[in-house]
Chain A
């Protein structure tokens, strides 16, 4: 399979000598169709991917594919297996079984070539505390074999990209948590990667820094990068991801575009009302799908006005809100509300 269709740019990863700088070939807006209309090979493909720690099934047979140029999200409660999946993609943790290819290359056989074109933001910050901000980028660039002069120029550019130029000569310990996060993003870009793997890139960022990060990620996507990310901020996932999966207990529960998932699992609109026996009786009569959360009932319906009117006129509901359905509704209804330990 791999190696045919040499006309399509992304396949060039399978050839020995390729011009990796031809980033243009990666600018594929429609995830599944090239400009010529040929089907596109995924940048990442996982089939029946499994990872066990002793008896614990951290990742339990997941199948997914990430297309060139898209932002693909992995969502799920704590311990769902997101980080484990990221580490397998990064070629740092071997899968127990299943198939995983990145750029069409097997992660077990070609880790070095894959990692050359990968930009990684780990969940746990691992900047080098023995160096300053700028030195962190320079030293990291050296691991990729980037010549010193080029590394210096690129590092300075990246520092200004993440707005840390002022901190260039500051030791790592003197950076705030959010600054460290931004520096890690800069570090992930030092090798001009094709694919970014971001494990909770916005963890611990203030709203300003988060917006900055979103803007940067959009810029990177527009430049043709493929991005895989995990996040617990569902609004963020809704904004950034072209497609996403929701995982729980090592399995993928659903996959799709955020908008589609919301429509499918939460409806366009969600009605919330005070939880009283009378309201519940009314809803049962209407035959609406609803869930009780504490002192509120949440009603999912594609006829929100009708339901709300009915509630207001017949059931004495106290308060009624109608709001747009969100990914959070999908997430909570699929993974439940119980806290994960």
Chain B
């Protein structure tokens, strides 16, 4: 089969803008989680559990998990946006159908959704960063680089999510990637304990292919202001996979929707 590289255009920003408008219509609901969640985790895990843990690799436990909380938030905000929310817009609300009757192409629509998913990651990571700075658990100014980075990380998770959305038969089957992919990644990506305690095979697997492990590595390097091993590897991994999944998800969505 002849595979066409999708070519989204700047029209994608009109789709992005639609989602942005909806987000800020309900901003009160949307803004609560990024402020409340890190506080709860910091208190319960960072300070509570931290008493028993003390330090990991010479770093106080709260400082150790702060970047992980950022990374998880980037993942969740973009992944769930481009799975459940995009699916609802596509399948139930027929929003995409309405859009493609205008000069927008399906490539533009999906690209707009992906850019929006990335933007959500940026918004949530930024909000959370404010809280973490207030608690004094991240270093400045290097932590500010988390803001642009969260967009890239969000784009990665949006692309992966959109691939699932493109192939899922219904909204219920989206639970599979949520539970079998996101949840394990949440636990085994060097988030709450270092990868080095895992069996070697799992370590190689995590650092080799788990997207969240890469994002945690980069974020932790930024908030601790010291490049960890694999920093550049992880950054390159994220950039190239974000690109691949961006185009792949558009291609798969086009295949699903243009019949």
Contacts and interface: CB of A to CB of B under 8 A. Distances in A.
Given A111-B105, A112-B103, A145-B103, A139 B97 contact: no
A139 B102 contact: no
B201 interface: no
Nearest to A112: B103
Interface stretch (B16-24, B41-49, B57-65): B16-24
B196 interface: no
Contacts of A140: 98, 102
B100 A92 contact: yes
B102 A126 contact: no
Contacts of A143: 11, 14, 99, 102-104
B105 A112 contact: yes
B98 A126 contact: yes
A130 B14 contact: no
A48 to B, nearest CB: 20
Given A122-B97, A126-B95, A128-B95, A139 B21 contact: yes
Contacts of B17: 142
A122 B103 contact: no
Nearest to A140: B102
Interface in B2-22: 11, 14, 17-18, 21-22
A177 interface: no
A90 B103 contact: no
Given A94-B258, A130-B22, A130-B25, A144 B93 contact: no
Interface in A116-173: 116, 118, 120, 122, 124, 126-131, 135, 139-140, 142-145
Contact of B102 (A94, A135, A144): A144
Interface string A229-264: 000000000000000000000000000000000000
A93 B106 CA distance: 11
A285 to B, nearest CB: 55
A118 B95 contact: no
A53 interface: yes
Contacts of B259: 53, 93
Classify chain B's interface size.
Answer: 20 to 34
Nearest to A184: B98
Nearest to B99: A143
A53 B104 CA distance: 24
A90 B105 CA distance: 12
B101 interface: yes
Nearest to B102: A143
A17 B100 CA distance: 24
A127 B258 contact: no
B100 A126 contact: no
B94 interface: yes
A139 B18 contact: yes
A10 interface: no
Name the residue in B25, B93, B103, B258 with the highest tally of chain A Cβ atoms < 10 Å from its Cβ: B103
A116 B97 CA distance: 15
A93 to B, nearest CB: 7
Contacts of B98: 122, 126-128, 140
Nearest to B97: A126
Contacts of A131: 21-22
15 contacts: A92-B100, A93-B259, A94-B258, A111-B105, A112-B103, A112-B105, A118-B101, A122-B97, A126-B94, A126-B95, A128-B93, A135-B21, A139-B21, A143-B102, A145-B103
Interface of B: 11, 14, 17-18, 21-22, 25, 93-95, 97-105, 258-259
